[in-house]
Amino acid sequence: MELPRTPSFRLEGRRALVTGAGRGIGLALAAALAEAGAEVTLAARSANEIEEGAKAIRAAGGEAQAAVLDVSDLAAVEEFFLSRPAFHVLVNNAGTNRPKPMTEVSEGDYDAVLDLNLKASFFVAQACVKRMLGEGVKGSLIHIGSQMGHVGGPNRSLYCSSKWAIEGMNKAFALDLASHGIRSNTIAPTFIETSMTAPFLADPGFKASVLRKIKLGRAGTVEDLMGAVLYLASDASNMVTGTSLIVDGGWTAD
């Protein structure tokens, strides 16, 4: 009897781009893809961080390069993709948050969060896909959403708006691109321990409220997301598109 074989999680011969890759989640996802054999480009506005990240990945035996890119500059985004071969994997990770009650949200706050979390993600994906289509490249778009794209949260009206929108965008992308062999999915994490969340999780009351929601009893770590991105980038998820991989410790199960 010939047994079925598990599709490969390896990524040799594939080019991957991770935005917002200077630290935290983005750097971890870039490291995971490189460890699996992908040639990874780390993109962010800060040259020092992404250069250090790429250097660390190379020191660990991976292939990585840094590319300074402001994803909110759409002209720069278009030029970035036109100047490079098509990527097989895009990780749309750059994002921000301005938590405050909805009554205190300013137009500036709205523009800052929605322009980066949604608008930039849309047009980065568009530019990436145009290059993929032009070269006949099949692949995987992975958008870093949030559990807050599936539930609401106090003082998170802007963040929830952007992340719920990402989920709708993702499903529509999946339908538009399926015939071209390009898949689109999201990863929706819970609170992950990073420099961005550290000030919030340092508040004992806030942390306690978070841990009451996370049924596994702890905040997430960047390592908790590395297997998820590898799965969605690889042949192991060849039949997966238009969905969300929720990595929330049970938050949304309640």
The catalytic residues are 159
List of residues 6+ apart from 242 with CB closer than 8 A: 170, 171, 173, 174, 175, 184, 185
CA 203 – CA 254 distance, rounded (Å): 24
Strand 244-247 relative to strand 39-44, pairing:
unpaired
**Is the Cα dihedral 25, 245, 188, 139 positive or negative?**
positive
Distance CA 158, CA 7 (A): 39
